Amino acid sequence: MAKQQSFADKVAKASKDKVLSRAVRLVFSYKSEKNAWKFVDRMIHIPEGQNENEYINKIIKSKVASN
């Protein structure tokens, strides 16, 4: 029996289903309530079509506000 689906077809199908994003390492510091510096190191995924600066600033503000 012949192979019905090639690897290229499989990759093309998988790329249609995925939401495209860009991975970025985000490293920042902030001063805690106890007057100590805290460092945060995270990998974030920026969705396709989203402004990178706005998205990163939103994440930083939410992280600093939660601590």
Mean pLDDT of the chain: 82
For residue 23, tell me if it sits in a domain: yes
Q: For a pLDDT cut of 70, what percent of the chain falls above it?
A: 82
Query: Is residue 14 over pLDDT 70?
Result: no
What pLDDT does 53 receive?
92
* Domain, as residue range, for 52: 17-66
- How many structural domains compose the chain? 1
- What is the distance in angstroms between the CA of the first residue and the CA of the last residue of the chain? 61
For residue 3, tell me if it sits in a domain: no
Query: Is residue 34 over pLDDT 80?
Result: yes
Q: Which of 2, 48, 42, 47 is CA-nearest to residue 25?
A: 42
Average confidence (pLDDT) over 9-36: 79
